[in-house]
Structure 1
Amino acid sequence: MENAMELHESLYALGMSQGRELFNDADSLRGALDDYLDEDSASTGDINLLVDAVRLGAFQSMNTMLDSGATPDRAVAEAGARLARDRGSADVGGAQWALAVLGYAIGKVSDEQVRRYRTQHMSAPQPPQPGGAPTALPPQAGPAVPPVGQRPADSGPQQTAPVWPSSGGQGASGAPAPSPVGAGSGGVPSYGPPGGFGSSAPVPPGRKRSPLVGILVGLVALIVVVGVVVVVIAVNQGGGSGGSDDPSAGDSSSEGVDVSPDAINERYQSVSTDIATGAAITSCTAADTLAAGETEKIDCDTENGKLQLTTYQSEQGIDQSRTRVVDYKDEGQLSDPVDSGYFYLYDPSNAEDPSRKVAELYWDSKSGLQTALLTAGDGVTSDQLVNTWKATNPTVDEPTELYAPQLQAFATRFSIRRCERIPTLYGGELEEAECAHNGNHVWVAQFSSDHDFKTYRALAKKLAKQDGNIVDRYWWNTNDSSQTEQGKIYGYIDESGNGVLYADYASCLCYFQAYDNGEGDPNAISGQYFSSGES
């Protein structure tokens, strides 16, 4: 006998027969599902969940992320977290499953991913026997993101990173390629039933509900309401530890918080899908008091150091957390300031004073309102910390390419290519990357302030002056009739005999630093970047 199609396969077939634009309108989708699906294909709750994914915009958000290059797992994680939060539900796994089903229906999420999310959604109907061949071919996976620090095979011999007298050495993680990012969780943990009692979602036409079911639901709701009233009265009359209404006042949080690995994995899916196991957590404790805006904070010991997990009441808490952790004043930082999920690594091996701080890796989920901070233990390197982070299957990506649009345009202007992000080598830099141009190594970077930019420029000028001002001029854009100065150009010879050309662009606080292959001729390098009409 032919195996019955599963729900995600049925939705794919529905989209093929009625057009995939069907999934863009909640009312049309509701009607189509009621007419198309058999009674036992999906529960009323699952139908409501799928329709809510469209009605509340989570499906559209997932589609946008996928079209922008996000991996299916990351898009499902972020959109699922948003859907769970918007529904006021604790069923994060169910929300992710619904987005995965819809993603499969439009050919952008694989059958394997849908089945993996289904295990987190216990209410999803199981097939009567092992499912047959999928209706659609699984979407092709995107190319693996190269790890930070891994250089292109054809980039030639490695050069010494650009180092001024005050900067540290070069370095990047060189860690294995990151695992595919995974599912997410949403919002403040809630332990009520998914959707809550008294759900306002209408019963779809054609799905008759037994009068007995309605009576039983009403009785259960009444019992719950009475129980809540009794508890509230007892707490108010007994002066219980219900906490202050003032969010700035400390709130006791340790009592009753489940800090078992399984519970932590489930609650912190928005930052990593396997955070407890991946980080090799040995023990955890919940904080006794919480700061303003926090709803939960857990401190854990791991094999490589400490892990702190925090859940916030609003996006403001995430913004404040980023401000506390991220510090561009120090060299050795690598960050990806994407609004949906921030990545920040501090690598002390690139710092001028590596003993001042230990390696740290912070990441968060704005839709899930959660943050994670790994702090290295004694003797633990940033590479080890990155490997631990990858093992948790995080929902954010490791930065590997230029992020700032101005810096990208600056590199393109001078045909600088194959740029790969590395931890910054000078304090005040927003980002730095190792690139290539005509077979030579080039470093590009952007500063956060005019002061730091001009301080670095002054160091370049000093080195050029020490070598007799081999190159000391400025450049301008020939399309500008006034020939306004765009930036400075300096050249010198480093201790290894390499010709070095420094050029900057004041408008974006950017610079590049190009090295020849031991020829010791910065003027020759300059001719590769600037025509006679530009400098």
Structure 2
Amino acid sequence: MELHDVLRELVNEHGRGILDDATGFRGVLDDVLAEDQATTGDINLLVDAVRFGVLNPLGEMIDGGADPARAVEEAGLRLARDRGGDDQAASSWAAAVLGYAVGAVPAAVVLRYRSSRPASGQLPPPTVAPSGPPYQSPPPTAWPPAPPAPPQPTVAPTGLPTSGPTSAPNPYTAPASYSPAPGGYAPPAGFATPPAKRRGAGIWVAAAVAGVVVVGGGVAGVIALSGGGDDPGPRRTESSEPKEPAVKVDAASLDERYGTLASKISAGVTDCKAGKPGDGESEVVTCTVSTGTLRLVTYEDDDAFTAARTARFDYRAGTMSADNGATALYEYDPERGGTTDPAVVYWDSQGAKQSALLEGEGTATIDAVVASFTSTSPRVTEPTAPAHPKLIEFIKINMDVAKCTRERTFFTGETEESSCETDDSGIIVSVGRYSTRKQMKADRRYYKKQYDQAGTQGGGGTWRFGDGPTEGGYYAYLDSSGDTATIYWDWNADDCYCYGVARNFEGDLDGLEKWWPSDN
């Protein structure tokens, strides 16, 4: 019997109360599970999911109308952060298993994250179900359906074979599950909109590489989106019009043409082709790189350029961005974001009205794509420090901003996040800024609930800035295991929506509160 089925049977027999106490839950698992049903790593994950209260916010999200798969991603991100690790997929698996055990999550969502549970006890990356219709239970039969027969051509009156028209997909169409932020997915009250640390979720399709066009200083050719006749899909109706071949572009010539983006844009590129520009584009070139593809675009005017930049940026988990007006940079790490979307690096130049998009293919990681980006000697650099002035002001309240380093976000809705060093090596701190006050307050509600449920509470309550009204939350507590002391604080001042989370993994709550006095 599968592990998630065992837990569901236990809940049906003994009630949901067995998931209320982490220590008792571990004892139950040790008693009932066979050695081949779960590794120590699996059990630790599930016990931590109980300890950190995954089920309540997960259930609230689903009861509030959230899709179970999305709710599981959010809960998994939160759990990963609370555990101080970065395996969001494994944490989502644990959230899905507990959700299934109480009847809140369909089996198909559990199977999305199902682990082969190797001897090491570490969960491998999940098997991701294809996007599409809502999750449903697997079909009764265990046998896969027979593959469909290949389309049989019909004979048109002219005698030419045809299988009907087939249109190429729009390379900029986002998947149905994506909701752009801000204004996108917002979990219901009781659970933070952000996903958890080492964490992820939010979805945006990095623009697929359409066939494109440019030569020297002007457009000179057309290439079909299908790749110029190499499309392995259904055959298209033959046309009596001669096909215009794709226009090849000398890679070295791109260094001058796109010199405002990078001094060596041609580094590592091969097979560059020009194609037909889209709306608002005057020139487009695509090239192959070792990690995937490079797409270069020149826009017709400022409006088209601004629209393209705006469409590229989003606030899903796993992103890092910088925009100073003249140039902008955007990165997406699917591992941290918890999706199967490609790794992406985008950068642009407002003066030249040009952009570059590196999109990973296959198993290309964000580190590999960033290495391709760096090899071009780009005119734009990755941000290394907190950027928003209000967030910097927030950090300076009790930390040295020079000791904070930017990282890709872990929570949906964050505009930026950084990790900060402290004078106490036992304290780990993360700070970030949300795009809206609502998102920050959802985060506050989550930590307030953890504080209320904690057996050992710190100073708690709220804290003030100067003589003004209460403008932020402050919650300090020790988890039920006694291993992790946590302080959460935030500032919902206009244009800040900032938060900080500090942890001590030796359970020293007093020391943690002395490090950050609540009467600041």
TM-score by length of 1: 0.50
Residue 160 of structure 1: how far off its partner (Å):
4.2
The residue that corresponds to 2:476 in the other structure is: 491
User: In the TM superposition, what whole-angstrom CA distance separates every residue of 1:273-331 from its partner, at most 9, and x where no partner exists?
Assistant: 11112xx2221222224312x11011222211111110013332221111111111x10
Gaps of 5+ in 2: 1-82, 96-193, 201-213, 222-243
- In the alignment, the residues of structure 2 paired with residue 168 and residue 344 of structure 1 have an alpha-carbon distance, to the nearest angstrom, of 21
The residue that corresponds to 1:167 in the other structure is: 195
Residue 521 of structure 1: how far off its partner (Å):
3.4
SS at match of 2:253: helix
Residue 462 of structure 1: how far off its partner (Å):
1.9
Residue 524 of structure 1: how far off its partner (Å):
3.4
Contact 1:343–1:362 under 8 Å retained in 2: yes
The residue that corresponds to 1:124 in the other structure is: none
Q: 1:414 aligns with which of 394, 398, 406?
A: 398
Letter in 2 for 1:283: D
The residue that corresponds to 1:127 in the other structure is: none
Q: 1:394 aligns with which of 378, 381, 386?
A: 378
Does residue 317 (structure 1) correspond to residue 304 (structure 2)? The answer is: yes
The residue that corresponds to 2:410 in the other structure is: 425
Q: 1:282 aligns with which of 270, 281, 285?
A: 270
- In the alignment, the residues of structure 2 paired with residue 400 and residue 189 of structure 1 have an alpha-carbon distance, to the nearest angstrom, of 36
SS at match of 1:484: coil
Letter in 1 for 2:258: Y
Q: CA 1:385/1:341 → structure 2, altered by over 3 Å: closer, same or farther?
A: same
TM-score by length of 2: 0.52
Contact 1:430–1:447 under 8 Å retained in 2: yes
- In the alignment, the residues of structure 1 paired with residue 256 and residue 292 of structure 2 have an alpha-carbon distance, to the nearest angstrom, of 22
Does residue 434 (structure 1) correspond to residue 434 (structure 2)? The answer is: no
SS at match of 2:461: strand
- In the alignment, the residues of structure 1 paired with residue 246 and residue 85 of structure 2 have an alpha-carbon distance, to the nearest angstrom, of 54
Q: By percentage of residues, which structure has more helix?
A: 1
Letter in 2 for 1:502: Y
The residue that corresponds to 2:329 in the other structure is: 343
The residue that corresponds to 2:169 in the other structure is: none
Contact 2:486–2:509 under 8 Å retained in 1: yes
Q: 2:463 aligns with which of 475, 482, 498?
A: 475
- In the alignment, the residues of structure 2 paired with residue 399 and residue 458 of structure 1 have an alpha-carbon distance, to the nearest angstrom, of 30
- In the alignment, the residues of structure 2 paired with residue 374 and residue 519 of structure 1 have an alpha-carbon distance, to the nearest angstrom, of 42
Q: CA 1:162/1:378 → structure 2, altered by over 3 Å: closer, same or farther?
A: closer
| Correspondence 1:209-248 to 2 at 5 A | none
Q: CA 1:423/1:512 → structure 2, altered by over 3 Å: closer, same or farther?
A: same
Q: 2:318 aligns with which of 324, 332, 336?
A: 332
Contact 1:407–1:446 under 8 Å retained in 2: yes
Contact 2:199–2:411 under 8 Å retained in 1: no
Structure label with greater radius of gyration: 1
The residue that corresponds to 1:380 in the other structure is: 364
- In the alignment, the residues of structure 1 paired with residue 339 and residue 510 of structure 2 have an alpha-carbon distance, to the nearest angstrom, of 36
Does residue 296 (structure 1) correspond to residue 283 (structure 2)? The answer is: yes
The residue that corresponds to 1:307 in the other structure is: 294
Contact 1:171–1:423 under 8 Å retained in 2: no
- In the alignment, the residues of structure 1 paired with residue 482 and residue 310 of structure 2 have an alpha-carbon distance, to the nearest angstrom, of 40
Q: CA 1:331/1:308 → structure 2, altered by over 3 Å: closer, same or farther?
A: same
Q: 1:365 aligns with which of 306, 324, 349?
A: 349
Contact 1:475–1:486 under 8 Å retained in 2: yes
Residue 255 of structure 1: how far off its partner (Å):
9.0
SS at match of 1:526: helix
> RMSD between aligned alpha carbons?
3.0
The residue that corresponds to 2:512 in the other structure is: 525
Residue 171 of structure 1: how far off its partner (Å):
8.9
Residue 342 of structure 1: how far off its partner (Å):
0.5
Letter in 1 for 2:333: D
Q: CA 1:496/1:167 → structure 2, altered by over 3 Å: closer, same or farther?
A: farther
Contact 2:199–2:317 under 8 Å retained in 1: no
SS at match of 2:387: coil
Residue 269 of structure 1: how far off its partner (Å):
0.7
User: In the TM superposition, what whole-angstrom CA distance separates every residue of 1:464-520 from its partner, at most 9, and x where no partner exists?
Assistant: 12214614310012x31xx4102001123356812110000011100111112x331
Contact 2:463–2:518 under 8 Å retained in 1: no
Q: 2:503 aligns with which of 490, 504, 515?
A: 515
Q: CA 1:373/1:335 → structure 2, altered by over 3 Å: closer, same or farther?
A: same
Residue 339 of structure 1: how far off its partner (Å):
1.2
Q: CA 1:347/1:273 → structure 2, altered by over 3 Å: closer, same or farther?
A: same
Q: CA 1:335/1:441 → structure 2, altered by over 3 Å: closer, same or farther?
A: same
User: In the TM superposition, what whole-angstrom CA distance separates every residue of 1:121-146 from its partner, at most 9, and x where no partner exists?
Assistant: xxxxxxxxxxxxxxxxxxxxxxxxxx
- In the alignment, the residues of structure 2 paired with residue 496 and residue 167 of structure 1 have an alpha-carbon distance, to the nearest angstrom, of 24
Letter in 2 for 1:282: T
SS at match of 1:342: strand
SS at match of 1:413: coil
Q: CA 1:434/1:265 → structure 2, altered by over 3 Å: closer, same or farther?
A: same
- In the alignment, the residues of structure 1 paired with residue 320 and residue 372 of structure 2 have an alpha-carbon distance, to the nearest angstrom, of 17
The number of equivalent residue pairs is 291
- In the alignment, the residues of structure 2 paired with residue 258 and residue 265 of structure 1 have an alpha-carbon distance, to the nearest angstrom, of 15
Q: 1:502 aligns with which of 481, 488, 504?
A: 488
Q: CA 1:191/1:327 → structure 2, altered by over 3 Å: closer, same or farther?
A: closer
User: In the TM superposition, what whole-angstrom CA distance separates every residue of 1:202-258 from its partner, at most 9, and x where no partner exists?
Assistant: xxxxxxxxxxxxxxxxxxxxxxxxxxxxxxxxxxxxxxx9xxxxxxxxxxxx99966
Does residue 451 (structure 1) correspond to residue 433 (structure 2)? The answer is: no
Letter in 2 for 1:368: A
The residue that corresponds to 2:249 in the other structure is: 259
SS at match of 1:458: helix
| Regions of 4+ moved over 4 Å | 158-166, 188-192, 254-258
Gaps of 5+ in 1: 1-157, 173-187, 193-240, 242-253
- In the alignment, the residues of structure 2 paired with residue 290 and residue 498 of structure 1 have an alpha-carbon distance, to the nearest angstrom, of 53
Q: CA 1:273/1:258 → structure 2, altered by over 3 Å: closer, same or farther?
A: farther
SS at match of 1:427: coil
SS at match of 1:437: coil
- In the alignment, the residues of structure 1 paired with residue 482 and residue 364 of structure 2 have an alpha-carbon distance, to the nearest angstrom, of 32
SS at match of 2:261: coil
Letter in 2 for 1:397: T
Residue 159 of structure 1: how far off its partner (Å):
6.0
User: In the TM superposition, what whole-angstrom CA distance separates every residue of 1:325-381 from its partner, at most 9, and x where no partner exists?
Assistant: 1111x1000111221111110011111x322x1211100011121100111110000
Residue 189 of structure 1: how far off its partner (Å):
9.2
The residue that corresponds to 1:268 in the other structure is: 258
Contact 2:318–2:332 under 8 Å retained in 1: yes
Letter in 2 for 1:474: T
User: In the TM superposition, what whole-angstrom CA distance separates every residue of 1:64-99 from its partner, at most 9, and x where no partner exists?
Assistant: xxxxxxxxxxxxxxxxxxxxxxxxxxxxxxxxxxxx
Contact 1:168–1:350 under 8 Å retained in 2: no
Deviates more, 1:363-372 or 1:460-469: 460-469
